[in-house]
Structures are given as C-alpha cells and as structure tokens.
Amino acid sequence: MSKKKANEKHITHWHSLEVDDAVMRLHSDRHHGLSSQEALERVKRFGYNRLPPPRKRSAWLRFLLQFHNVLIYVMLVAAGTTAMLGDWVDTGVLLAAVLVNAIIGFIQEGKAEQAMDAIRGMLSLHTTVIRDARRTEIEAESLVPGDIVALASGDKVPADLRLIAGKGLRVNEAILTGESEAVEKTADPVQNDAELGERYCMLYSGTLVTSGQATAIVVETGVRTELGRISSMLAQVQTMTTPLLRQIARFGHWLALAIVLMSVATFVIGVLWHGHPPAEMFMMAVALAASAIPEGLPAIMTITLALGMRRMAKRKAIIRHLPAVETLGSVTVICSDKTGTLTRNEMTVQSVVTAGHVFDIGGAGYAPDGGIFLEGTAVTADDYPELAEIARAAVLCNDAQLHRLADESWQLTGDPTEGALLAFAGKVGADSAWERETLPRTDAIPFESEHRLMATLHHDHSGSGYIYVKGAPERILEMCERQGGLHDAETVLDADYWHRCAKRFAAGGLRVLAIAAKRVEQSWREVNFSDLEDGFALLALVGIIDPPREEAIAAVETCAGAGIRVKMITGDHADTAQAIGARLGIGLGKPALTGAQIEALDDEQLRSVALDVDVFARASPEHKLRLVQALQAAGQVVAMTGDGVNDAPALKRADVGVAMGLKGTEAAKEASDMVLADDNFATIGNAVYVGRGIYDNIQKFILFMLPTNGGEALVVIAAILFELTLPLTPAQVLWINMVTSSTLGLALAFERPEREVMRRKPRDPREPLLSWFFGWRVLMVSTLFMVGALGLFLWEMDLGSSLETARTMAVSTVVGAEMFYLINSRYIYKSALSLEGLFGNRYVLIAIAACAALQIAYTHADPMHALFGSTDLSPDEWLKVVFAGMFVFTVAELEKAVIRKFFGRGRSRLG
C-alpha cells in the first residue's frame, strides 16, 4: 500500500457524503449555523483559517553563503598565507577579489522565495456566515469547520466547503485543476475516488464563484484545505541545483585539488631536491597557487548570467533566479501546462454545423475578428441566412458581455463559453445591442447542470414570441422535431446526422453545444420546463475550443528540432488533452496518461513511462510533482510551466520553473525561476536560445581564462624545476588575472548565440564543463603562453637586462598574448580570420583597447613601478611582445583548422 493511500485512512471524504450526513458529522445546523460560543471553542481546537508563514533566511546569512565556494576557500587561504608573510599587497588584491565576488552574488540573488506568502494572500478577507441563526460578515480567518457560509457570484471561496444548496452555481477552479472552463456545482455526492476536478459538490479555498448562489458548510480550514496541502508540499520540495552550478562545483573541486597538489609538489621539490630555503620556496608555492587560481571566474560568471538576464527580459522572459539563465540552455524536457500557455485561455467557436453545411470559423479569442468559411471559401450571412438566425440565438440566449477596451482588446464579463458565442455572432455581423433591443428578454431559465440547458423567452415589438435554448446536444435533440430554422417547418429532424456530427466534434477536442428555437404564442410571459418538451427546430451544433496559440505550435516544432521534448500536463479530460496535443504536435499517435493511471504506478514504473508519454490528463499537484521528479531521476533537465497554485510545487522542484506573468497566480510566480511577461510558450524557446548562447559564452570564457592561468603556472613550475629566477611575482600574477584577464574575458559575455544553436541536441547535464578535447586546448595554449613569456624573460636576462625589465617583458607578453587569443576565443572551432570574426563584437575591440591602456600604464606609470616592480619598455621590446602574441594567435588558428579538417561538422559543434 502506498504512503498516500495509507494516509487517506485518516481523511474524511466529504465529497462522498450526503449533505445531512456531512452536517451531522460536523455537529452543525444547516439553517441556524453554529453558535458564537461554539465557534470560539472551535477556533481554539482547529486554529485560525490561515497558513503559517514560511521560514526566511536572514540577509547576513545569505551574504555569508556567497563565500561557500571551494575556489573562494583557496583564495582565502592564499590571502591568509601572504598576510602571515607580511605581503600586504598580494593579501589586499586577493581579499578584494573575494569581496567583490560576494557582493555581486548577494545583489544578484534577489529576494527569497515567497510562494507560501502568495498562497496565503489568496484567502478572501471577508465572508458571509450564518451564526446564531443570523447572517453576518466576518473575517475569513475566523471560519471554523461546521460554519455555514453563503456565497454569490464574484465571491472567493474562503475555505474548503461541502455544498448544501446552490442555484446556477459555477466555480472557476483553474488555480487548482488547470481547467479554464468554470465547473457546474451540485449538492449531490460523488464517488469516493473521484478526482479533484470531478468533486462537483465541493468548493475549494481560493477558487472563484463565477455565477449563481450557494449555501455550504465549512469542512476544512487553514493548512487542512487543498491550498494548505499544496503549501505544505511546497515547503517540503527541495530545490534542485542547476547543471551549471553542479559542473562548476565539480570543476572547482578538481581545480582546487590540482592547485594544492602542484603547490605542495613545488615546495617539496624545491626544498628537498634543490635545497632552497623553506621560506623562499613557500613564497614560490604561493606564487604558483596565485597563478593557477581563476580569481575572476566567479565574478565573470555572475556578470555573464546577469547580461543574459537582461537579454531574456528584452524577449519577455523575466529571470527571478540568476542560474536559471544558463539552465535554460541545457533543458531536455519542457513540461507545459495547457491552459493559457499552449492555448489562449479564451474559448473560441471553431466550427458550426447546420442541417446542410459545416462552417469553419476564423479568428481566435473574444475579438469579433475572423471570417466564416465554407469549404475554404469566405461566405457571409447574406449568402447563407441561417448564419444570421444562429447568431441571433447565440446573442439572445446568453448572459455574458463583451467590452472593447481603450487598447482595442476585448474583455469578457461572464462565462467563457458564452463569450465565445458572442464573438462568433460578431464575426457573422450581428449587433448584440440591436438584437437585444429588437427582441427583449421576457423570461429565462438559467443554466443548471441537472437540466444541461439554458432557455430564454423573447418578444419582438409586434408581439411575436420566441424561445431560444442552448445546451448539451443529447438534451436539446430530445426537444427538437425539425431542423434548419424557424421557417423550415417541413424539414424533419435527422437525429443520426446530428449525433454523428457531435461525436466528430468531441473526438476533435471540441466542446459541443446545440442551439434551437421555437415560436410561441404572444400571450406567453414566462417559460417553464413543460414548455421545453417538444416543438423546437434545431438550428446548429457549435464546436468550441480553447485554441492552441499559433506561435506555440511553431515553438513546439522549434523545440523538437533542438532535441527538446515537450510534454503537456493538464487537468482536462484525456480526450480533450490528446486532441489539443495533436494540434500542437505533442504526443502524436500516443495515448494520454491520466492521473488515475499515474496513481497506480510506483516511482520506478513512472520513470520509464514518463519518458515515453507526452500528454498527461487529469493531473493533480502531486502528479505534476511526481512527473517532474521522475524525469529528473531519469537524467533529464526539466523546465516546468504553469500559472495556478496547483503548479507551484512542480515549478519549485523543476530545474527551471516558468510561471505566466499575465494570468499566473502570485504563488506560481514566486515558486518559479522565470516569469513569461507575455504568457507565450514561444518565449520559452527564445529563452532557451539565449540560454544556450550563455553556456557557450561561459565555456569560451573558461577556455580563454584557463590557458592564461595555466601559462603562468607553467612559467613558475619551469623556473622552479630549472632553478631559474621567478619570472612573475605573486602581485604581478594577480595583476594579470584580476585586471587584464577579467577585462578581456568580460567581452565574451556579449557574444551573440551561434546561428545553429537551436539545431543542436541539448548537452548532457552529466558531461563535465571541460571535455578531454578542451583539456588539450588548454594545455596547448598554456604551453604557447609559457614559451612566449619564459622565452622572452630568458632572452632579456641573457641580453643583460635588469630583472625588473625581464619580468615586465614576461607580464606584457602574457597580456599581449591574451589580447590576440581573445579573438581566437570568439569561436571554439570556427576560424576568426574573417570580418565578422575580427570585428563582429565591438566589446572585444573595446576590451582590447582598455586592456592595452592598462598595460601601458602598468609599464610606464611610476605608481605602478612602485606597486608591482614594473619598468619602462623600449619600442623594440614592445615589438617582441607583439610578435609573441601573434605567434599564439597563429598556432591557435592552425589547431582549429586541423580540427575542422579531420573531425568535420559531424563530430564537432562548430561556432
């Protein structure tokens, strides 16, 4: 037995109880409610109807955690060592590097998660309750189990309630189930194992009453509500570390280990083999450690990610947590909510079937824009008068309103399905205001789920009466004797034809409504159910859908080309989900997996099924969370999109949680790493494009930086092994690493993503940051740096130059080679010998100019001479530095040419 089923032994399934049984169990009275005294006693027993605040991490602790990095530890040890030796210049530079990195990280981390705060804010502030047999308004947090609550259209449900009685009650439960359509509610109990979206007698905290009235009894409050259960899940969800941070951590550990081993080996060899004094060798070991530590890496990574954040913001993707910028580039699976993300969250009439024709309706959403088409040809109501009659019925048998806003958009007031009918009428050419004025409503039977229809009675100004009805096709067909229109009296109803049409619509994922009408006597002034038994003419069947976004269809295709699987997770019925998925290109030819089927699978089975299935229906918050965990356990990097409270736990668990900015709840936004400002799935594709470019830029920076550090380390090692004078002092090494390398490397953060970046497969999140090939590249270029710097140092010493001049030549050679190698580094494989390669990134040119100015100041400014022990260089000496840099550039380009020739585009990802 699963843990969930074991826990359910202690849960009362209120949805399966009769009303009187539920009231009796709660020791309440459906007419008089609780007494005030009893309510106070229950507050003491059950607590207030609110959620506990989350534990927050203090600012000082967040700042201290910025130092929790193995490279930072190595830098701090080096700073402490130099301080003990009295080398305050080196100590100051090292500590400054550590502090700058910590400040940048602290600023960029942003605000702490506030998901449970956002959920708490969804509880309504006040509600109407019956206590002591009187109606009174109280704060919702004072509600207790057993309270009798009265609700009306527009109210937010204040706690979990069992419906006692309702009239025309419909509730929007999208925040919990993901379904965009309001749910009809009745007091009748349902099966014990009914899914959340099918518990029609229950009202859940935080949902919204869209129409009707209700009396209900409070059954759960606070943390015991569905919202409370989700907030508890959210608190228990562990946030995953991003692939890049895992790679950087592994890289940092190996690099730190290598630095420590090199430094220790250097000290031991110098003291035991060459007999140097321990104090001198200790300073050399410190110089070696300083040369090998990539001091600028943490800060440059943060800056690179921040620049990526800004680029994504321009593309409508707002990043909340900085590492998500790069993680998007490694995503292998996108789990997307359907409603409002892949679809428009605006119901739209897509097809209309009459007795003789099938019309396709263009456009989407509530704007009355889009044509009427018959077999691909645009038609009008003048060509087919039945369209005008259907449109009139759609307007009159309707309680919704569409309003045109100042920005030319359309806003719906009322039921989404009725809004779709009004938009259709507008496309036909009907004027809603004129139709209602011409045939004013005399009486109506509002929609109720037990009757599955709505009926309205109208009279024109000459006295003629008409009843219009709309509802479930099987219900309306029972009332019809004719088909066509009110004037087609001799056309007998072909029931088989209409049933076939309804079945075809439903198979395509459409919600089907039937519309019918009949003439009545002028004297009729009210409509009763007895008036609806027969005599109607069936005007049409209307197929309504929440249509897929066109840009989402293209984005799904783009993701497929990039090797990213898109999986749709929704609260809809399986048939609807599968049909929408097929329109989007998701899960073609594969059955949908339902929440009930997920329940039956253990974690191991779900892991294998989750990889193969692409459409998941009737999914609860637990199902979404389990699916994300199963995919991660299978080695996938998962992005999860959502807009409801029900999505928050999965958003938090995913490698990248993506919330909707326009229609998303605050809970979803606060649990996410990224917010889509336009609620557009296509924006995720754009963000992946930028994210892949960011990862490339980080790799390029590391491939640029490590040879610099490696070259310096090799210079120091060679000097120790061959008992040479140290060509670089620790302070000079830090000048190269922190000032020139960082200045130059920052330019790579501005590189645009490569053209074929979305034609690659996602990188394996388990692969190391640097492959064996990259290791070869680092070793080769490091050797080139060492040959140039050590070679010129020894040459100058051989010519009789001073030690200061020789060291200044060595430093300038390393910096000059960096400038040339920066141009090589713009592309990992492609040649830089082109106009685009040489001049395509203006920031590279600016960085080279800035670095050249800094190095000239280092060489010729008196304060630099005093601080770093540098000295002036002659024009001939500068020319040697330039030739050394060109040597590095030429060999690096030849190596790339060999790689392209012998490995080609099939083996390598070319820039």
Catalytic (active-site) positions: 337
**3-state DSSP assignment of residue 166:** strand
- Whether the Cβ atoms of residue 667 and residue 648 lie closer than 8 Å to each other: yes
Contacts of 449 by beta carbon, 8 Å cutoff, 6+ apart: 184, 185, 186, 200
Residue 720, CB-side half-sphere exposure with 13 Å CA sphere: 32
- Whether the Cβ atoms of residue 218 and residue 147 lie closer than 8 Å to each other: yes
| Cα–Cα dist 387/352, whole Å | 9
Q: Which of 340, 307, 337, 346 is nearest to 325 (CA)?
A: 307
CA angle 505, 506, 509 (to 5 degrees): 95
**3-state DSSP assignment of residue 3:** helix
- Whether the Cβ atoms of residue 294 and residue 705 lie closer than 8 Å to each other: yes
Strands (DSSP E) along 289-355, which ranges? 317-319, 333-337, 348-353
Strands (DSSP E) along 367-464, which ranges? 372-374, 377-379, 401-404, 410-413, 441-448, 453-459
Burial class (CB in 10 A: 0-12, 13-18, 19+), 905: exposed
| Cα–Cα dist 181/419, whole Å | 12
Distances from the Cα of 419 to the Cαs of 10, 455, 545, in angstroms? 43, 17, 12
The stretches of 727-839 forming alpha helices (DSSP H) are 730-734, 742-746, 772-798, 803-824, 835-839
| Cα–Cα dist 546/509, whole Å | 9
Distances from the Cα of 302 to the Cαs of 436, 746, 792, in angstroms? 61, 11, 35
- Whether the Cβ atoms of residue 814 and residue 733 lie closer than 8 Å to each other: no
| Cα–Cα dist 648/861, whole Å | 58
| Cα–Cα dist 379/122, whole Å | 47
**3-state DSSP assignment of residue 633:** helix
Burial class (CB in 10 A: 0-12, 13-18, 19+), 55: exposed
- Whether the Cβ atoms of residue 828 and residue 899 lie closer than 8 Å to each other: no
| Cα–Cα dist 393/428, whole Å | 12
Beta bridge partners of 216: 149, 163
Radius of gyration of the chain (CA): 36
Beta bridge partners of 538: 483, 516
Q: What is the 8-class DSSP label of residue 8?
A: G
Q: Over 851-871, what HEC string results?
A: HHHHHHHHHHCHHHHHHHCCC
